[in-house]
Structure 1
Amino acid sequence: MKKIFLLLALPLLAQAQKIDKLITRAETERIETYLASDELAGRKPFTPGIEKAAQFISAEFEKAGLQKTNGSYLQTFYMVKTKLNSFTATIDGKELDAKQVAFFTVEPTISMDEKSGYEVATFQKGESFVPKIYKLMAATKPTIVFLDESFAKYIPSLRRNGPLNPTQKNVIFILSNTIPITYKVTANHQADKLQLSNVVGILPGKSRPNEYVIFSGHYDHLGIGKPVAGDSIYNGANDDAAGTTAVMMLAKYYAKKRNNQRTLIFAAFTAEESGGHGSVYFSKQFNPDQVMAMFNLEMIGTESKWGKNSAYITGYEKSSMGEILKKNLVGSPFTFYPDPYVDQNLFYRSDNATLAELGVPAHTISTSKMDSEPNYHKASDEVQTLDLDNMTEIIKAIAKSATSIISGQDTPSRVDTAKLK
């Protein structure tokens, strides 16, 4: 029996030895340290820091031998940033002030009333805010939204919305406990066109080139912010230099192996922190029916609530992907768990959301303790706060768990979009 067990164990041992040579702690540290360095100044969109990050990621994809799209690793698109100059708004003849109104728009001028054909939506007291906001941002028709006054605290953040997709339909938010009979809104904005870029590399599949598996993370962060103990750079080491590092490491690993039957796409998204615009644009470049799975990697630099060698998968119950990953790790010390923070709507808050809403088994893998993560969105999110040994093991586990999906042996079930509404 011992001899038989040894014969069965030898292939697993050989695989472990090979992956240990290709995914190393030293390489994890090298990439992570640069992405989270002060030189990149927090990688905020439209700054020199994020441009340097994009150049670095592109160079690493080049070294790995990934294919470009249209001659570049940069997937460039444009956004529109508006600044409100003036507005007037009335409901049932009553004039509103700035604390009661917010706009999502790319249009310099808005003039509408109850006869203008806008869709009408509401936020009732007690409703969950985040998922509905994401859906409204993707509205296909101009929409006016009446929010119960219990949502008043969100108006300032809605007014500070970042650049929007040029195809964004007008969404006007007004605090009102009821839908008024009459309403009128006029507004004038300054509108500026701005450029952003995802970084995308491709490893063509051998036998199933038109079936795609995506590995992604966002490489933007918050940039320069309010100083804390003299430090004003929000480096985003965990959020999400860690996920981007994993994407780059996985790209190098699979490029060395060159045995993927399905096409692998490695994407570093921009503008996740300001509305997920990078992943929204990226998603529109694909027929979702051809995307077999999406591994979105977000904040994997710290231990999960279960300790080392563990991570969770958002939306675990929405497809069979989590069970496939667990199956592929049987016999290893690593375990995937369902998302323990479902009240925080993490499935809808990262770059997996757009493709998931199209039925793709698109999930985020994370270890972040979202109920107690001490450095989340703080200047203290720096490399020295990460467990790089554990992070390296997580990257290895992701590589191993994805094996049967990239080979075409397993295909996760689709997300039931009807249940997302």
Structure 2
Amino acid sequence: MQKFISLILVSLALACGSTKMVQTSDVIPSPPPAPSGPDGLKADTEKIASIGFTDAKTIGEHMNYLASDELKGRDTGSEGIEMAAAYIEKLFENNGVEPYYESYHDTLSNYKKPAYNVVGFVGGNDAQLKDEYILIGAHYDHIGVVKPENGDYIANGANDNASGTSTVLELARYFGTNKSNKRSLIFALFSAEEKGLYGSKHLAKKLHEADLNLYTMLNFEMTGVPLRVKDHFLYITGYGKSNLAEICNNYANEKLIGRSLIAKQYNLFQRSDNYPFYKEFGVPSHTYCAFDFTNFDYYHKPGDEVSEMDFEHMAKVVNKMIPVLEGIANAPNQEIKMN
């Protein structure tokens, strides 16, 4: 999440992460295959709820690569983020997610170093609704190598934001495999979020200038550990700006989404990649998040390691969101409205 920790004081003990700077490898691992289930993987809400599309093992394989020391914190313009991008592209290619542009690369026009978003596309299967677009996003960059703490100098960015990236990768794999969406879906992994939302600013402006018919932008940020003592599973930033929470909870058949007073207090709505799309298009644009400063101690610290993540929780995020996104993508009318 774009750097705003200076707004609050956090006095908490930091865990020691791994300290060895390893050599990068030219071999990009293959993304994990789909977990198996009875009768295959269909676009069926009850089946998703009962067997789950993804699981902790699959999530863990994404996370163990994206937040590894080998990628050295995925700083924008670094070799590590190039490796992360190659991993994302390979998963898209292997699971029926086409490049939105001529390639998956969307080169940033507003950043000084060579950098790019990775943008995929799953076209809608309805003759009319396919001209309406839903953008599902997360940033895949982090802050790279930092001042050492307890001898560890790699800010691995497991929660921020390999977790959101892994969520989007699994959602893309589901829809790329099943093609169960009537509206068209754009899957965007943003670079340079940590530098000032440059990746999402670039893409929002570019799509707006191309007159994209954007219905809603749904972003995922820091979903790696569960909220504590809450009556909801995730919160959305900008809760009162639209009826998205109500729509999500109706499709989930539970209180999946709630509000966060912390998010409102620190104006998190404007601090992640949803905001440029809200500014450019004026459509409902929100971030799903499970980080509220009380449940994770290592924001922008070397201690943001895979070992701190809850893969079971992350798998639930994906499995609970699939019927929600499928409902939003397939509803006969645009149900999400600005307040």
Give 1:348's aligned amino acid: Q
Change (3 A) 1:390 1:76: same
CA–CA distance in structure 1, aligned partners of residues 133 and 189 of structure 2 = 16
Task: Please give the TM-score of this superposition, normalised by the length of structure 2.
Answer: 0.81
What does 1:371-410 align with in structure 2 at a 5 Å threshold?
371=294, 373-410=296-333
| Structure 2 match to 1:74 | 105
Counterpart Cα distance in 1 of 2:100 and 2:236: 30
What is the aligned partner in structure 2 of residue 361 from structure 1?
A: 284
Match of 1:62 among 88, 93, 104: 93
User: Aligned letter for 1:39?
Assistant: E
CA distance in 2, matches of 1:356, 1:301: 25
Give the structure 2 partner of residue 316 of structure 1. 239
Partner residue in 2 for 1:278: 199
How far apart in 1 are the matches of 2:322 and 2:75? Answer: 29
> Equivalents in 2 of 1:218, 1:310: separation in Å?
21
Structure 2 counterpart of 1:264, from 185, 197, 202: 185
Q: Is the radius of gyration larger for structure 1 or structure 2?
A: 1
Where does residue 16 of structure 1 map in the other structure? 49
The residue aligned with 1:196 is: 115
Please state if 1:244 is matched with 2:173.
no
1:294 to 207, 212, 217: 217
Whether the 8 Å contact between 2:204 and 2:276 is mirrored in structure 1 is: yes
SS for the counterpart of 1:194 is coil
Matched, 1:45 2:61: no
Distance 1:77 1:14, change over 3 A: closer
Which residues of 2 match residues 137-148 of structure 1 at below 5 A? none
Specify whether residues 282 and 321 from structure 1 end up closer, same or farther in structure 2 by C-alpha distance, changes over 3 A only: same
Aligned-pair CA distance for 1:410: 4.8
CA contact (8 A) 1:296 1:365 kept: yes
Q: Secondary structure at the match of 2:246?
A: helix
User: What is the DSSP-based 3-state SS (H/G/I as helix, E as strand, rest coil) of the residue aligned with 1:279?
Assistant: helix
Q: Verify: 1:343 aligned to 2:265, yes or no.
A: yes
> Which residue does the alignment assign to 1:116?
none
Q: Which amino acid aligns with 1:363?
A: H
Task: Tell which deviates more after alignment, 217-226 or 251-260.
Answer: 251-260
Deviation at 1:214, TM superposition (A): 1.2
Higher strand share: 1
Unaligned runs of 5+ in 2: 1-43
Pairwise CA RMSD of aligned residues?
1.9
Cα 1:63/1:12, change in 2 over 3 Å: closer
Deviations 1:204-223 (A, max 9, x none): 00112211111100000010
**Residues 302 and 386, structure 1, Cα contact 8 Å, conserved in 2:** yes
Q: Which has the higher contact order (CA 8 A, sep 6+)?
A: 2
Partner Cα distance (1:345, 1:54) in 2: 29
Q: What CA distance in whole angstroms lies between the structure 2 residues aligned with 1:373 and 1:317?
A: 25
CA-to-aligned-CA distance 1:279-329 (integer Å, 9 cap, x gap): 011112324771111110000001113359711011111011111001111
Distance 1:401 1:323 in 2: 11
Deviations 1:133-184, CA, capped at 9 Å, x for gaps: xxxxxxxxxxxxxxxxxxxxxxxxxxxxxx5xxxxxxxxxxxxxxxxxxxxx
8 Å CA contact retained: 1:198, 1:268: yes
Q: Which one of 211, 222, 228 corresponds to residue 143 of structure 2?
A: 222
Give, in angstroms, the shift of residue 371 of structure 1. 4.8
> For the Cα contact (< 8 Å) 1:236–1:382, is it kept in 2?
yes
Percent identity, please: 35
Q: Give the distance between the partners of 1:364 and 1:237, measured in 2 at CA.
A: 17
> Which consecutive segments of 4 or more residues in structure 1 shift more than 4 A?
none
